[in-house]
Structure 1
Amino acid sequence: MKIGFAAGQARSAPLTWGQRDIWRAIEAARPQDGYLNFGHVLPAPRRSGPVTLARAADALGKLVERHEALRTRISGDRQQVESSGQLDVTVTECAVDEVSVAAEQELNRMSAPAFHYAEQWPLRAGFVVTDGVVQRIVLVFCHMAVDGHGAEIVLKDLRLLLLRGTLPQASAAKPADLAAHQNSADGRKMTRDAVTYWTEQYGRITPASLPTAPVRQPRYVQASLYTKAAAAAAHVIADRDRVSSSTVFLTAVMKQAAELTGQRVLGMRMIVSNRFSHGRRDVVSTISQEGLVVLDLGSPDFDGLVRQAWQAALRGYRFAQFDPDEMHRVTSALPVASFGCFNDQRLVQRAEPLPPDDSSSTVQWTSTMDRNICDFRVHVGDGELSLAADTALLSPGGIEGYLRDVESLLVKAAV
């Protein structure tokens, strides 16, 4: 089915800094850039009665009208916001006991192909229906349109539209407005300040001695360790040191990375949401960028490292908004480099009880790629720790070993 939308005026703007970062990753991943797509399955709310196709279509149309990012196409270094159009939505009929499986299948099917950025809308949608009632809504996002936090705002708004039919007036900045600010004198100063900070921190990093392993095909692989023990231990340490559990994970990830690189002072990039100020909190766009954390790992005291990481991360958050081309130009000319990237994808850091001593963790190989996005990238999810790495740096066995070493370090440090 097709859902029409009409809102505001069409306008063109440069890409935001966050979009330019993602565009760099897209170009590095092609033709496997569908890897960067991500999606969600939203159960249709029942509190206000069954969700008919008409009601779901109305809510989705209003959603696209509200958020410019969902009706924006990308061409070259520009984004084009459209004022009207139609969104194609798949409708999948199934029995009530098949809803969950059908929704997951639709999510996988719609997530796989890369977007045609200049021709297609950056949102794919599907309704899973039983006897005329929408049971699940499947949304797949182009990463050029939204980041993880932006997607959660979209899902929240869609649920409210399904329940109430309307939303409060929007106050957050739009992508084109962000781009205008980033190209202003204030934006250029933000870049200069960030480049100064990163350059100073790079001056602290000690040279690395990176391991080598035979290159495999596919070259880049990702493993996920599903572990309740690591998450629970991180919360114990976080409470003890009065920091976030994300900081605890970051510290463990960097400490184990230093075992690979042989560095006493190691720098690692981390994904920062950049939604700390009031005007940025509810932005639906890709505004996340990388911050830089540099740690002196010479101390054997893990709690001391955690507290050091907390302060370093706070400084990194402050300087995580900048022109990525200028930052790349400067840092690529420096004699040392940061190592890897850390991304805590949890929106809520829930405390969990420590599991019994016989608790087990499992590893799954979750993706493979032939092209390079990042040589070493760690993600933290709910009960999950994953590493995507270049097999010329770490063999598959080394990737699994690294994840288990991080888990072991956290569990021992929590005692």
Structure 2
Amino acid sequence: MKLVVSGATAAAGPLATGQRYIWRAVERLAPQDQHMNLRAVLPVPPGVEVHTVLGVLTSAVSRCEALRTTYEYAESGEPRQVVHGDGVLPVTVATAGPGEARQIAEKLSRELAGTSFDRFGAWPLRLGLVQGDAEGLYVVLVLAHLATDGGGVAALSEVLRTSWQRPAHADAVLSLIRQPLAQAEFERSAEGIALHDRALKHWRQTLTKFPAVPSRPRLTPHEPRFLRGEFTSPCLARAATLLAARSGVSAQFVLLAATALALTARSGGDRCGITVISSNRHRPELKNAVLHLAQRVPVVLSLRHGSFDDLAKHACAVTLNASRYGLYPPERIRDLVREIRESRTDEIDSETTFNGMSRTMGHQPASEQDPGGERSWAELREAGSFSWTNRNDNEPDGLRFVDFFAPDRLRMYADTRLVSAQQIEAFGTEVESILVDAVEGRHPRP
């Protein structure tokens, strides 16, 4: 089975800032960047025919230039995007027995995401279709991270879900989104340049206020040097859900507050300097855009609050304010960070990043319907598990990335010259303990 696109817009030009941000990571890791691939599994209501599904997908690919883009280097050496107007995408088809369609679709999504994309020669999208019996169809999407971010996957998934029974809906919604080349053009305008300048000002002011971190001894690195581990726990999901409801903020900010406390637990500091991933989808034309927009922004969190709920509210307010400054030329920020670090006599940590946006990427928590049920906190904690998910030698010095793929799944990706494998493995249970203590009224930093 295949999807054929013809007569769509064809063009070429420079990358937008969000694309340049993710380009550096992909370039550093390729061709071992498959762990960055994004995936989604979408149910199709019973009664919707395969040809209708293919028609909706064809409309989406035709409307979203990022899904028809390959890359090349310009004579200047800078990367350049090439949007293709015609092409064919294969659709991998699988058949499932009764009650197996969702499971088969998840398996197919992992298989399709298991290899790196050729960013110079192939479109950044892989498609699958699982045909069941009474369950209907499942569509599998796998996208290269260069094409979009978690917010883009969530937006595209929602458009498709609402279009299976209204095929014209996808075309109507996606005709209004901003395309990558148009975003790059906007960023070269006076308004775009002013936006970048405000972002740089925020970075400068915030990094200047970053608290000093204790001198960190260089450890004997693991081989390979950079490790990523995943901690899965229904306890995380239940505690984060309860605290979000109690404090009146989303679980993202509850998890950020707990992460800040865990990161500073050993030093006992009363402030945490950290960068957070901003979706940069505040403008109407970017809300449903399928392109990479997310970038990190720095924040300083004060950890001295009367209750954990107050800390979560503080994390929400500070992060939402910082998110206004999330679009910027990444190369200028690298120069600025270097300048700030050289101007200070103490050491700051500008590499630790929190990503709560991954929860919008279609990853479903194991405990989504019942995050804990009637089990006790002790029973929930016993149900937690840890596994290593990635190892490589090609990340930036000092990397420490805390990523929540769902309320019950925390990943830490770190440089073992600074963070030992044992510390990576223990981090999830440390966050878990902070959350349980908060639910029961014990605040670790009164």
TM, length-normalised to structure 2: 0.84
Shift of 1:103: 2.5
Q: Distance in 1 between matches of 2:95 and 2:233?
A: 36
Amino acid paired to 2:338:
S
Cα distance in structure 1, aligned partners of 2:416 and 2:9:
48
**Aligned partner letter, 1:229:** C
2:206 aligned residue (201, 207, 210): 201
The answer on 1:88 being equivalent to 2:90 is: yes
Structure 1 residue matching 2:378: 3-state secondary structure: coil
What letter is aligned with 1:363? Answer: S
> Partner letter of residue 69 of structure 1?
A
- Runs of at least 4 residues of structure 1 off by over 4 A? 260-264, 298-301, 348-355
Distance 2:226 2:413 in 1: 7
CA apart distance, 1:321: 1.1
Instruction: Decide whether aligned partners of structure 1 residues 243 and 101 sit closer, same or farther in structure 2, where only a CA change above 3 A counts.
Output: closer
In structure 2, the partner of 1:343 is 355
- Map Cα deviations across residues 351-406 of structure 1 (whole Å, 9 max, x no partner): 96785233323123141221344621111213222212222222332112221111
Is 1:178 matched up with 2:183? yes
Deviates more, 1:199-208 or 1:289-298: 289-298
**1: CA distance, partners of 2:379 / 2:217:** 32
8 A contact 1:207–1:263 mirrored in 2: no
Q: Which residue identity lines up with residue 51 of structure 1 in the other structure? A: E
Residue type of the alignment partner of 1:83: G
By how many angstroms is 1:306 displaced? 3.0
- Once residues 421 and 177 of structure 2 are traced to their aligned partners in structure 1, the CA distance between those partners, rounded to angstroms, is 43
Q: 1:290-326 CA distances to partner (integer Å, 9 max, x unpaired)?
A: 1211123356854443343233212211111111111
Which residue of the partner structure matches residue 379 of structure 1? 403
Aligned: 1:356 with 2:376: yes
Map of 1:117 onto structure 2: 119
Paired residues for 1:221-300 under 5 Å: 221-260=227-266, 263-297=269-303
TM-align CA RMSD: 2.7
Q: For structure 2, which runs of at least 5 residues remain unmatched after alignment?
A: 74-78, 342-347, 441-446
Matched-pair identity in %: 29
Q: Which residue of 2 aligns with 1:14?
A: 14
Relative to structure 1, the CA distance from residue 211 to residue 233 in structure 2 (aligned partners, 3 Å threshold; closer, same or farther) is: farther
CA–CA distance in 2 between the matches of 1:290 and 1:252?
Answer: 19
**Distance in 1 of aligned mates of 2:198 and 2:145:** 27
Partner of 2:60: 63
Contact 1:26 1:33 (C-alpha < 8 Å) held by counterparts: yes
For the residues of structure 1 that align with 2:163 and 2:277, how far apart are their CA atoms? 30
Once the 2 structures are TM-superposed, how far is the Cα of residue 260 of structure 1 from its aligned partner? 5.0
187-196 vs 164-173, greater mean Cα deviation? 164-173
What amino acid does structure 1 have at the position aligned with 2:189?
Answer: S
Match runs of 1:131-170 below 5 Å: 135-167=137-169, 168-169=172-173, 170=175
Tell me if structure 2 keeps the 8 A contact 1:10–1:83: yes
* One-letter identity of the residue aligned with 2:289: V
Correspondence for 1:406: 431
Deviation at 1:150?
A: 0.9
8 A contact 2:10–2:84 mirrored in 1 = yes
Q: Higher mean Cα deviation, 173-182 or 218-227?
A: 218-227
Query: What letter is aligned with 2:17?
Result: W
Q: Which moved more, 1:265-274 or 1:307-316?
A: 307-316
- Residues 127-180 of structure 1: CA distance to partner in whole angstroms, max 9, x if unpaired? 22358x973222110111111111122222333343222223532211111111
The answer for the alignment partner of 2:76 in structure 1 is none
Matched, 1:392 2:398: no
Instruction: Please say which of residues 118-127 and 243-252 is displaced more in the overlay.
Output: 243-252
Deviation string 1:333-353 (CA, Å, 9 cap, x unpaired) is 222342411111223998967
User: Are 2:24 and 1:24 equivalent residues in the alignment?
Assistant: yes
How far apart in 1 are the matches of 2:152 and 2:159? 11
Question: Separation in 1 of the partners of 2:81 and 2:425?
Answer: 40
2:345 corresponding residue in structure 1: none
How far, CA to CA, are the matches of 1:7 and 1:171 in structure 2? 19
Query: Residue 115 of structure 1 aligns to a residue in which SS?
Result: coil
Contact 2:372 2:380 in 1 (8 A): no
**Within 1, Cα distance between the matches of 2:266 and 2:394?**
20
Distance in 2 between residues matched to 1:153 and 1:265, nearest whole Å: 35
1:67 alignment partner AA: C
Point out where structure 1 has 5 or more consecutive residues left out of the alignment.
Answer: none
Please give the alpha-carbon distance, in whole angstroms, between the structure 2 residues aligned to 1:338 and 1:264. 17
**Residue 331 of structure 1: which of 337, 351, 354 is its match?**
337
| Cα offset, 1:98, TM superposition | 4.9
User: 1:203-249 deviations in whole A, cap 9, x for unaligned?
Assistant: 11232223544312232222222223333333443344433322121
Q: CA deviation at 1:197?
A: 1.2
Aligned twin of 1:99: 101
User: Cα 1:134–1:120, aligned 2, differ >3 Å: closer, same or farther?
Assistant: farther
Identify the residue that residue 444 of structure 2 maps to in structure 1. Answer: none
